[in-house]
Chain A
Amino acid sequence: MKKFFSLGLVRGLIWQIIGTGIGVGIVILIRILMGLPPWKAEPATVFGALLGVFFFLAGVGAFTDWFKMAKGEEVEEMPDESHLGAMRYFGVSLDHKVIGIQYMVFSIILMSVGGVFALIFRTELAETGMQFLSLIEYNTLMSLHGIVMIVSILVGIAAIMNYTVPLLIGASDMAFPRLNAFSFWVGVPSGLVILSSLFLGGFDTGWTGYPPLSVRAPLGMQMFFLGVAMVGFTSILGSINIIASIIRLRAKGMNPFRMPIFIWAAIATSIISLTATQLIGLSFEMVMFQRLFGMGFFDPVKGGNPILFQHLFWFYSHPAVYVFVLPGLGIISELLPVFVRKPLFGYKWVAMSSLGIAMVGFLVWGHHMFTSGMAEYLRVPFMYSTLLVAIPTGVKFFSWVATLWKGKITFPVPMLFVLASIVVFLLGGLTGPPNATISTDLHLQDTYYIVGHFHDTLFGGFMFPFFAAVYFWFPKMTGRRLNEKLGKLHFWLVTPAFFMLSLWMMRIGLLGMRRRIADYDPALQFQSFHQVMTIAGFIIALGVLVFIINLIWSAKKGEPAPGNIWNSRSPEWQVPSPMPVHNYGRQFEVVGEPYDYGLPGSTYVKFEGE
């Protein structure tokens, strides 16, 4: 029992509850002192939740070292925590590999939660009329599905980047290990704050939270805003670490064009999340202030402008989809040459295309607002800038196809997922231009076609590459490989079912099915389509369940894989698995090109003393 309470996570959760209580108490006290009626739900809950997050962080120990520094005490530079064993995964650890695995587990948990929400409201949609959900319950589940999945993806890319970036560049850890731990831990209580909206009346705006609806929504809305604004710090602080590590801690000889291609993707994605994330935080804070203090930002009666919210919101939320997909596309480019045994085609172009997507991504947010009443003259420029994104993305596709061409292809599970992501992302990409073109978008806006489109891009750009990355690097994390048979089962359950789901989504979207709605007219005759989608959704869930079982089972009983099982040239595979505590005992020097597979006599890295 004592051991249980010594876990950082448990202490954090207890302190979060205490902190929330204290926050509520403070607001009541202030209101009494000001002579107001003591209880007003909104300020009390918001301040309580905010304080709860900080108490969690203090309880878990994310501030401990910083407090010591502030007091002028010495802190240990690179503590060796390996004696703690599995315990270190439940508390603050400074090791980027531990943090990466923490992120991964957190991401899979959130993914499961968001998936369960989807299953519930998908079941409701299988039949017309409302069967077992009330309208607000449906709306809350639908909105939470969106935001929980988005947080899960942000956490998921942080997982991949945290685990692999220092390994790929040959660093012993991130540039700022404490900040790294803080970035992870701030996500946990914030995720709980978002989920707490379920019990505080929910909210009915979808994940976009547009005012004026969000100004009138139940109290759960505030928890959504606060939670997302706090989760933003995970992204912001994490990307500071990624950028600083990549600039400062690369191995000797690793000049920019000899970096692994995934590093380019990580840089591009970090530039976006470093800067743009602040604006979603700001827009959400502005709505929070409007609700709390009656500020008139988005209230036309007071001279405010609801469209401003959409501009601020999409200035982050569109580039955010590139935050979601760029690491995934980087994973595809990173893994493809390993399983094709051929050099990556057009390395420099692929590297530049990641940056290109990130840069163009800043200029396209208006395409979400073609029907919103945004200034007319902005429409056409946003249409063209959006279509421009196809060029760097096309570069990536050409590179993948050319890399596959005449390769000696093998099909272990990671490669299956890589191939599936290429196909699925192609489908997602090709369904994009109709949304970017104003004339067609006016019809497609707010239909299931859009839903199908972004599920395709996010599955192709994040989910499948994430699965591939986990199958690929799992031996590096644990020293055991994931079961191939279960992996294949996972793949063959998820992939066909996903095609069924997303193609049917687009089809009924074109036929006129509105998105976000809880019910539809039986005369539309969409029941059978919805039933197919519901069944497909459950099959995907079954596949993910197989994946989770595989993870748990293989971590203990999987086939041992201490060596370079994928025959990769990357430095992390040249040392035994699982990775030693401070990564590389001997430093290495980069002496060749990273992806010269199949070229005789070429080496990428040379370790000291070789």
Chain B
Amino acid sequence: MAESNYKSNKLIGLVIFGLLAFLTLVEFGLAIYSTSWILLTLLAIIKAGLVMYYYMHIYRLFTPDNDTNRHSYAYKLVTNRLGLWLFMLSDAFIFGGLLISRFNLMGLTRPELSQPLGLAVTSILLVSSFFANRAETSMGNGDRRQFIISTIITIVLGSLFILGVLGVEWQLAPFKASDGVQGAVSYTMTGFHVFHVFTGVVFLGIVLRNTMHGHYSQEKHWAVEASVVYWHFVDVVWIFFYPALYLIGTIH
């Protein structure tokens, strides 16, 4: 039973990944032929919904407690989940504020950033999200080896993303931070986001190290769940930042 459950969870992860990849390509293609921000926003919301439900398991917040003892692990786990989600809600406001600033200052124009590069870093983050989900699923089924492999891949892809933005994007951009609003907006938005990716990588690194020292188990792995959910949150932010920075509008 547990074995088939594991397989079906892995399958769900794969299907959702396929769906997200497809929607991303639709976004990219759409942006070539149309400048409709409504459709792109709608697609982003659908993608974010998929990630929040299937990868971040938002429904777990609303499942009733099966153990009402305040000091039990199960009860605390639900409290911890609530705390993490409250933190992410709060954090979402800062990114929301950045998006509002972007549209206030630039309207339906966008910074002059390389679109293929944007698609590349987005794909990297998307694939990393798939492996993060796979890592959590395998830990939940006691498959430690698979967990370690998936986490390492996630960390590598996350680092590649940071490298792609800081090392390639920022160097190739035809404007500096001090060049008009497009510089201000794009460097601040990517900067805030990369900082969050960086914290996510550190978090995953800590979890990976502790797993190698044999710390988490199939039943008790809140730290794994937290780091993965946080990773997906950073991905959700990028789901909105990607169209806002690369797709919506005409070049500034």
Are A and B associated in one complex? yes
Chain A positions near chain B (C-beta within 8 angstroms): 69-72, 77, 172, 175-176, 179, 236, 239-241, 243-244, 247-249, 274-279, 281-283, 286, 289-290, 293-297, 302-305, 308, 311-312, 315
For B185, what are the chain A residues with a Cβ–Cβ distance below 8 Å? 297
Tell which of A294, A305, A311 touches B177, judged by Cβ atoms closer than 8 Å. A294
Q: Report Cα–Cα, A290/B177, bound state, in Å.
A: 9
Interface majority SS (helix, strand, loop, mixed), chain A: helix
- Of all A-B residue pairs in the complex, the 6 with the closest CB atoms, nearest first, are A294-B178, A295-B184, A278-B93, A278-B94, A303-B181, A72-B210
B205 to chain A, nearest CB (A): 10
Known contacts A175-B79, A240-B87, A296-B184: A305-B94 contact under CB 8 Å: no
CB atoms of A295 and B183 under 8 A apart: yes
Q: Report Cα–Cα, A129/B206, bound state, in Å.
A: 62
Interface residues of B in 25-45 (CB under 8 A from A): none
Tell which of B70, B78, B89 touches A275, judged by Cβ atoms closer than 8 Å. B89
CB atoms of B97 and A312 under 8 A apart: yes
B251 to chain A, nearest CB (A): 14
CB atoms of B82 and A248 under 8 A apart: yes
CB atoms of B188 and A295 under 8 A apart: yes
Most chain B CB atoms below 10 A, which of A236, A248, A279, A286: A248
For A303, what are the chain B residues with a Cβ–Cβ distance below 8 Å? 105, 180-181
B187 to chain A, nearest CB (A): 7
Interface residues of B in 48-102 (CB under 8 A from A): 70-71, 75, 78-79, 82-83, 86-87, 89-91, 93-94, 97-98, 100-101
Given contacts A72-B209, A241-B83, A302-B178, 9 further A-B contacts (CB under 8 A): A72-B213, A175-B79, A248-B78, A274-B86, A275-B89, A294-B177, A295-B177, A296-B178, A312-B101
CB atoms of A282 and B178 under 8 A apart: no
CB atoms of A281 and B180 under 8 A apart: no
Give 26 CB contacts A-B under 8 Å. A69-B223, A72-B210, A175-B79, A179-B83, A239-B86, A240-B83, A243-B82, A243-B86, A249-B70, A274-B86, A274-B89, A279-B97, A281-B94, A283-B97, A293-B177, A294-B177, A296-B184, A297-B105, A297-B184, A303-B181, A304-B105, A304-B181, A305-B105, A308-B104, A311-B104, A312-B100
For B82, what are the chain A residues with a Cβ–Cβ distance below 8 Å? 175, 243-244, 247-248
Chain B positions near chain A (C-beta within 8 angstroms): 70-71, 75, 78-79, 82-83, 86-87, 89-91, 93-94, 97-98, 100-101, 104-105, 177-181, 183-185, 187-188, 206, 209-210, 213, 215, 223
For B181, what are the chain A residues with a Cβ–Cβ distance below 8 Å? 296-297, 302-304
A525 to chain B, nearest CB (A): 45
CB atoms of A274 and B90 under 8 A apart: yes
Q: Report Cα–Cα, A289/B89, bound state, in Å.
A: 24
CB atoms of B213 and A282 under 8 A apart: no
Known contacts A274-B90, A275-B93: A244-B79 contact under CB 8 Å: yes
For B183, what are the chain A residues with a Cβ–Cβ distance below 8 Å? 295-296
For B89, what are the chain A residues with a Cβ–Cβ distance below 8 Å? 274-275
For B70, what are the chain A residues with a Cβ–Cβ distance below 8 Å? 172, 249
CB atoms of A278 and B91 under 8 A apart: yes
CB atoms of B187 and A295 under 8 A apart: yes
CB atoms of B90 and A176 under 8 A apart: no
Q: Report Cα–Cα, A507/B215, bound state, in Å.
A: 68
CB atoms of A176 and B177 under 8 A apart: no
Q: Report Cα–Cα, A400/B35, bound state, in Å.
A: 56
B93 to chain A, nearest CB (A): 4
Q: Report Cα–Cα, A308/B185, bound state, in Å.
A: 13
A343 to chain B, nearest CB (A): 30
For A70, what are the chain B residues with a Cβ–Cβ distance below 8 Å? 206, 210
Tell which of A71, A275, A283 touches B90, judged by Cβ atoms closer than 8 Å. A275
Q: Report Cα–Cα, A286/B97, bound state, in Å.
A: 11
Q: Report Cα–Cα, A247/B81, bound state, in Å.
A: 12
A251 to chain B, nearest CB (A): 10
CB atoms of B184 and A278 under 8 A apart: no
CB atoms of B93 and A276 under 8 A apart: yes
CB atoms of A289 and B184 under 8 A apart: yes
A69 to chain B, nearest CB (A): 8
For A276, what are the chain B residues with a Cβ–Cβ distance below 8 Å? 93
Closest to A302 in B: B180
B118 to chain A, nearest CB (A): 21
Q: Report Cα–Cα, A243/B79, bound state, in Å.
A: 10
